[in-house]
Structure 1
Amino acid sequence: MAGPDRNPLRRLLALPNESRAKTVLMAFLVSGICAALVSGATVLMRPIQAANRAAEEQAHIASLVEGIPGMADLLEQSGGMLSRVVIDLESGRAAAGVTPATLEAALADPANWSAMDAGQDLAGLGQRPNYVQVFLLRSGEEISLLLLPLSGQGYGGRIDAIMALRGDMNTVAGIAVTSHSETPGLGGRIDEAAWQAAFSGTELRGDTGAVLFRVARGTASSIHEVDGITGATRTGIGVTNMIRFWMGPDGYGPFLDAVQRGEF
């Protein structure tokens, strides 16, 4: 006579299909296998996703630069290359020990993020990375163009953009909105080329050094404004606050001061 089957899997499968124990155990088994597959796929896809994000960012940067009058000539004269540097936002200087290649790993560490109180957090981010990668174009020894990543809260969610500044670190050469969740036909118009083109020539700061840029609630009336979008006041406020934050003392302010002192 055959002894009892000691294989737990065969014993489980031998139970009647209406068995509650079999149903629960099979559900746990299937869930565990699915979780393992999803985790494995996430690990395998992470380098591909990172590469895709980098390629998308480069495409936006190339598009932004090509749309700025005279930039194609400057790129050609300088070899067609933008240099990259990781900035320590606290000091405004090049980060010590963090490079473009190691930036993603550095920002995976919560210690490399700074929480902000409500008075600081104009952009509505909650926390700010301590390190950011920026792009520089030189004409001889001088920086002729600076590309700065921006992010902030709009009406529908997060807005990401790249802003190009002229060598005076105050005049906007262009802007490219790279992602957003604003309402189509209203705030969603921030990704229209015609609206973004209005940023060119806008000045960020006034004579006192204060950041005066804003999206107007109608037609722009000063060198520091761009036209608002009808029906998208809250989106305009979000863009205003995003730019004011990043151009201020808790964003790129210390870095821009360092550039103007000739430290880069």
Structure 2
Amino acid sequence: MSSKKETVGRTVTVAFLVCLVCSVVVSAAAVALKPVQQKNQLLDKQRNILSIAGLLEEGRSVPEQFGKITPRLVDLRTGRFSDEMDPLNYDQQRAAKEPALSERLPAGTDIASIRRREHFATVYMVEGDDGIETMILPIHGAGLWSTLYGFLALEGDLNTIVGLGFYQHAETPGLGGEVDNPNWKAQWTGKLAFNEGGDVAVQIVKGGVDPNSPRAQHQVDSLAGATLTTRGVENLVRFWLGEHGFGSFLDNLRAGEA
């Protein structure tokens, strides 16, 4: 009987030690790989920004190309640039979850279904001799199954859309996941975000855009079989271009007061 107890005890001890060693190895690997993962995430984000802005040149170093882009922090409460934090190290997703760095949105204004909007956002600019050539805005909002995170790029007139794309989401492949389809994304290029009165006018329409419609310059075709995802994309784009997103900032930029 004593021999059986000793055998069971040794088995339990060995199993415990194996589990302990494995957990230490896994933890050490996770710590060791974290810098590599962070570097890859940064490169992927930079690649997405360059691609959406129409600036990505395959075969060239991404960090080298990204050198032409200037990141700036914007205070969404005032619609003006801010030096309160480093725009490169500012984590907008994390800030949206922190009560001290964000605010709860009233249901009537939260058309992007994000619940809280952060106080600050990092925008990315391409500048030339005559001022801003491209303004790249971070955007996010609810789709059908996930929150979509991406960027919307505008030309220097702060109205003509250069490109739109998402770098993070979990929409259904072949349906809502078609937001990544290059042909669909290409439709956004050249569309006007605002009408002559300065109101957000961009719209995603079901059944195809009528080229003879006066609103065609603001419209993009809906994704087939992905009504809720499509509606989510339209709502999040309209939110971030509107008064609770970057609307005041864009107005201040046009007036030279940002």
- TM-score scaled by length of structure 1: 0.77
Instruction: Give SS of 1:66's match.
Output: coil
Q: Name the CA shift for 1:193/1:139 in 2 (closer, same or farther; >3 Å).
A: same
Q: Name the CA shift for 1:26/1:256 in 2 (closer, same or farther; >3 Å).
A: farther
In 2, distance between residues paired with 1:215 and 1:185?
18
Listed as ranges, the gaps of 5+ residues in structure 1 are 1-13, 69-78
Q: Which residue of 2 aligns with 1:82?
A: 69
- Is 1:62 the counterpart of 2:50 in the alignment? yes
Amino acid aligned to 2:121:
V
In 1, distance between residues paired with 2:135 and 2:126?
6
In 2, distance between residues paired with 1:89 and 1:34?
46
Q: Name the CA shift for 1:29/1:245 in 2 (closer, same or farther; >3 Å).
A: farther
Alignment of structure 1 residues 220-231 onto 2, 5 Å: 220-221=209-210, 222=215, 223-231=217-225
> Shift of the alpha carbon at 1:96?
3.0
In 1, distance between residues paired with 2:55 and 2:89?
30
Would the aligned equivalents of 1:216 and 1:236 in 2 still touch at CA under 8 Å? no
Alignment of structure 1 residues 176-195 onto 2, 5 Å: 176-195=165-184
Map Cα deviations across residues 174-212 of structure 1 (whole Å, 9 max, x no partner): 112223222222222111111111101211222332212
Map Cα deviations across residues 213-252 of structure 1 (whole Å, 9 max, x no partner): 1211121242221011111111110100110111111111
Q: Name the CA shift for 1:231/1:46 in 2 (closer, same or farther; >3 Å).
A: same
Would the aligned equivalents of 1:115 and 1:126 in 2 still touch at CA under 8 Å? yes
Would the aligned equivalents of 2:54 and 2:162 in 1 still touch at CA under 8 Å? no
In 1, distance between residues paired with 2:109 and 2:30?
35
Would the aligned equivalents of 1:213 and 1:225 in 2 still touch at CA under 8 Å? yes
Q: Name the CA shift for 1:213/1:26 in 2 (closer, same or farther; >3 Å).
A: farther
Would the aligned equivalents of 1:98 and 1:106 in 2 still touch at CA under 8 Å? no
- Is 1:244 the counterpart of 2:233 in the alignment? no
Aligned pairs, number: 239
Q: Which residue of 1 aligns with 2:107?
A: 118
User: Identity across aligned pairs (percent)?
Assistant: 32
Q: Which residue of 2 aligns with 1:16?
A: 6
In 1, distance between residues paired with 2:180 and 2:164?
10
> Shift of the alpha carbon at 1:61?
2.0
In 2, distance between residues paired with 1:209 and 1:160?
25
> Shift of the alpha carbon at 1:107?
4.5
In 2, distance between residues paired with 1:36 and 1:95?
43
Would the aligned equivalents of 1:115 and 1:127 in 2 still touch at CA under 8 Å? yes
In 1, distance between residues paired with 2:16 and 2:239?
48
Amino acid aligned to 2:36:
I
- TM-score scaled by length of structure 2: 0.79
- Is 1:103 the counterpart of 2:102 in the alignment? no
Would the aligned equivalents of 1:162 and 1:176 in 2 still touch at CA under 8 Å? yes
In 2, distance between residues paired with 1:162 and 1:89?
16
The partner residue of 1:93 within 56, 59, 80 is 80
In 1, distance between residues paired with 2:33 and 2:115?
28
The partner residue of 2:143 within 143, 154, 164 is 154
Listed as ranges, the gaps of 5+ residues in structure 2 are 57-65
In 2, distance between residues paired with 1:80 and 1:103?
18
Q: Which residue of 2 aligns with 1:72?
A: none
Amino acid aligned to 1:98:
M
- Is 1:53 the counterpart of 2:47 in the alignment? no
